[in-house]
A and B are shown apart, each in its own frame.
Chain A
Amino acid sequence: MKISEIAQAINGEILTKNHDNELDIKSACSADLMSDVMAFSKENAMLLTGLINPQVVRTAEMMDMKVIVFVRGKKPTESMIELAEEKGIALIATEYPLFEASGRLYEKGIQGSGEN
């Protein structure tokens, strides 16, 4: 799915400016514990989380993730948005809780693990 399609599927707002809308996102991981993301997520290009702090963006950077979805109406700070833009990571905010946001994207074909 393209980033714009992902945002649409979860009524989300894209918060970063310079994302690459040609990217085709195929798999995702949902977690509030970054430790688990680093230990268990393999080739996922997208992270869904209810956690807000700069290490979420850092974790995504180290994991080669291209999109972070913040759930439950949580909004990242300005400095997190700047950091994400610098790293070419798209940030999306949605009102849906983690389970529902994940479910909506799964329904559209996003997988739990795979080749990006």
Chain B
Amino acid sequence: MKKAVIVRDYTIPANDFTIAGEASSNVRKILTQLGVSPNVVKRASIAMYEAEINAVIHGKGGNAHVEIDENKIYIVISDEGPGIADLELAMQEGYSTAPDSIREMGFGAGMGLSNMKKHADILDIDTEVNRGTTVHITVYFNSDKKI
């Protein structure tokens, strides 16, 4: 029996702090309505929200593409921003290039990428300087990974 696959696409506007998080919020709602376990909903939405906020504040905005099937949610957040020169460094907790204006908004502690890794079952990041960044997040519905 083949279950329907839910596909959603969202635009993530640049530097718009009022709209940032809309896509993650919508996906969260879909997962909740599907009856996915609260732990999995929380992990998927936190990972996606971190990536969405990064696209807003670092990546000049971008797109979110989401696929949900009976086993998992697969999220792709892509932007055509400046890219990440040293991904290993950027993954370290506390490393951030966010300006003070972002910190005043409550972000820019350098925790986002490591937090994504913590919450996702699979995290893949493709990035190229001056080209942009694409973050792939997979969370399995039956995974018992705890936060």
Real complex partners, A and B?
A: yes
A62 to B30, CA, bound (A): 13
CA A64 – CA B115 in complex, angstroms?
A: 16
Decide: B46 and A61 in contact? CB cutoff 8 A.
no
Quick check: A63 and B46 within 8 Å, CB to CB? Answer: yes
In the complex formed, the residue of A with least CB distance to B96 is A35
Question: Which of A32, A42, A59 neighbours the largest number of chain B CB atoms within 10 Å of its CB?
Answer: A59
Q: Which of B20, B109, B147 has the most CB of A within 10 A?
A: B109
Q: Judge whether B111 and A35 touch: CB under 8 Å.
A: yes
The number of chain A residues with a CB under 8 A from chain B is 22
Chain A positions within 8 Å of B25 at CB level: 58, 61-62, 87
Question: A61 and B107 in contact (CB under 8 A), knowing A39-B115, A54-B18?
Answer: no
Contact check, B49 vs A54: say whether CB atoms are below 8 A apart. no
Instruction: Count A-B contacts at CB 8 Å.
Output: 71
Q: Are A38 and B18 in contact (CB under 8 A)?
A: no
Q: Majority SS of interface residues in chain A?
A: helix
Residues of A near B65 (CB, < 8 A) are: none
Q: Which residue of chain B is the closest to A42 with respect to CB atoms? A: B147
Alpha-carbon separation in the docked complex, A97 to B58 (Å): 32
Q: In whole angstroms, what is the CA distance A64 to B109 when docked?
A: 21
B72 at the binding interface (Cβ < 8 Å): no
**From residue A107, how far is it (CB to closest CB) to chain B in Å?**
27
A-B contact pairs, 22 of them (CB 8 A): A32-B106, A35-B106, A35-B110, A38-B46, A38-B50, A39-B109, A39-B112, A39-B114, A39-B115, A49-B106, A51-B105, A53-B106, A55-B20, A55-B106, A58-B20, A58-B21, A58-B49, A61-B21, A61-B25, A61-B28, A62-B24, A64-B38
Binding site for A on B (CB under 8 A): 17-18, 20-21, 24-25, 28, 38, 42, 45-46, 49-50, 53, 93, 103, 105-112, 114-115, 147
Q: A: which residues have CB within 8 A of B?
A: 32-36, 38-39, 42, 49, 51, 53-56, 58-59, 61-64, 79, 87
